[in-house]
Each structure stands twice: as structure tokens, then as C-alpha cells.
């Protein structure tokens, strides 16, 4: 089951990387970066669950907070550019 999860995360990462590179708008690129961040956090969580070692779970929590703050800042920037 872990191998299947890693394969699905790899496919999701490839799709988000495509959106990041190909996205014509800033919002598309932000979605790509956010998606890659979520895939990375999910990979860390799956590795922690598979190994039984939760040492990297605080890293996932910090990345979640950084991702949220970064997205909020970029959303305000995009909102200001359109108005």
C-alpha cells in the first residue's frame, strides 16, 4: 500500500509541476507551488507512518503553516494587482 501511495504522490507531483511550469497566470503558478508543497508534506507523512518514526511530523506542521502564510500573502498581492 505504501508503494501505491508513493506512486500516486509522484503522479500528483508531476501534475502540479506541469501546472507550475505551464501555467499562464500567477494564480496557476501559485496552485502549482501549493500542490507541490502538499505533495511533499504528504510524502513526509507517509514515510513517517511507514517507518513508525514520527520525528518529521513537526516539519510537516511547520511546512503547513509556511504554506498557508505564503498563499495568503500571494492572494493579497494578486487581489491588489487586479483592483
Whole-number Cα distances in Å, 82 to 22, 27, 36, 68: 21, 12, 26, 21
Angle between helices 26-51 and 57-82 (to 10 degrees): 170
Write down the pLDDT at residue 9.
Answer: 97
Write down the pLDDT at residue 83.
Answer: 61
For the 2-82 domain, the top CATH level (class) is mainly alpha
Q: Rounded to two decimals, what is the model's pTM?
A: 0.86
Digitized pLDDT (tens) for each residue of the chain, 83 residues in all: 999 999 999 999 999 999 999 989 888 999 999 999 999 999 999 999 999 998 999 999 999 999 999 989 988 888 887 76
Amino acid at each position: 500500500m505504501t508503494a501505491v501511495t508513493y506512486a500516486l504522490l509522484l503522479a500528483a507531483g508531476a501534475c502540479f509541476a506541469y501546472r507550475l511550469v505551464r501555467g499562464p497566470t500567477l494564480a496557476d503558478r501559485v496552485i502549482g507551488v501549493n500542490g507541490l508543497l502538499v505533495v511533499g508534506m504528504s510524502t513526509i507523512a507517509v514515510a513517517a507512518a511507514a517507518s513508525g518514526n514520527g520525528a518529521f511530523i513537526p516539519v510537516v506542521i511547520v511546512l503547513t503553516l509556511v504554506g498557508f502564510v505564503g498563499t495568503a500573502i500571494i492572494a493579497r498581492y494578486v487581489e491588489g494587482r487586479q483592483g
